[in-house]
Structure 1
């Protein structure tokens, strides 16, 4: 087994569950900026505690990569939280977690990690999955506008987190520990999220319903980040990050079963099998085309033959 895979699998589960917390916070009406702010408070406390307990909280110049990663991570998770106000978790979460395609491509180009056929195939299938998820549903005019805004935000989030994951690898390669990277990142993110919340609200006073969601999200995300970085300290980013980001399978499955979100064939199949997704999407599109245009060539015509 490739080194670090066990850590990546643990991160997979934690990331998937954290996405559900983000969705529940959004549908409950929790302000995203306050949710992020309180979450970062607890995230900083938890990763600092991890570093102290393990004795790995050692700061150096390499730890500054965590500050750079924090800017992109904050941008990513804030936009993801905003996207869920009008978007479906079973669609947005898979797209968000496909940030590994950005990380894998950059790791091959910048870190000179080997480009193998399985990696190339995985990236290609992931891009196909995004296309299927985006084309699997139809909306009215108002919902389409909201869905477009949600899509823009989740794509920004995807690119941002993909870059952040690469920056972690740079820091680890230069000698930083996972705990020091995450602690420096958290200090920067706490500063940004608290300043943003103060700017939006005119004060720093989160509403009561923020706390339970933010605390649970912080527990899950701190666990996910620690596991991912411990894995990256041992293995390749282009292998481990894609595994960790497959948490969207957990998110989509629980979203369908427990949140009663609609299960579109293309979306469901894309979370489990790209070939099935392709067939499901093709079937959906042909069916919709036939319904919109009954006289099209997709529907057999009756011919009247002269007697």
Structure 2
């Protein structure tokens, strides 16, 4: 957590209004009700608010909200909202909160929604030191999500705070991983794997590869589970490569050969059909729509950048990416990407 500073009662109302308008009018998605409150809370945490149009060097689907110090990374990170190309396919997290570094290749999923993130921040502040700058900045919106003493009232304490989060607030990747690794640290590999399975299943994080990548890493830590680690790495690579934390290592564990484009093809539906036909002798090929072809092309463009190939940066593919989404009939997201250039 970054340091907390006293929240100004004069948070830039123009900046807050700009974010709400950008989400609704440029990204063309429903603006989260408590987004203005989140911006005030981020300032209380010590973040510096960014213009939502300040997207240079960022993933083409990210709407920046703020920048913050990342001591572990030795630089500054950007916190923002992820605008999925097809939000209706991600109903559990249609506009999640993510972070990345400028010119970075991958995104870290922080929370599935603004509300879950705010609830967590309020509860963390309460458990550590009682209500303070964060709850003051959150105001009435915060009070609707969390009441002081709520963690203790729910039967939890600081030592069991992660359990409070997953039972009363929502699902968070770092919490899921901490719970699994906690079991492993205590020598309980079975419970660690159960927790990892729970992290992956039930559509908690639709379209996100990190849960499967984590499972692959866990199998490696446990030892003597190389095939399972390999298979889980391959499954994680069927998701957007920018949703992985350690792409290069995961690709190595997958044991898929060739450059990034060849690895991408090996995981495609066409490769599966070709493999099946070589075994069965049947040459049937599932017909694909123009939208499916364009969406696959768009996904491949971003995957290759995430792999360190494909033009070298997300900015370099923005125009081509917008064209593919236009072909797919997704003019809103195409225009959104064009607005970043």
Larger RCO, structure (CA 8 Å, separation 6 or more): 1
When normalised by structure 2's length, the TM-score is 0.24
Greater share of helix: 1
When normalised by structure 1's length, the TM-score is 0.26
Greater share of strand: 2
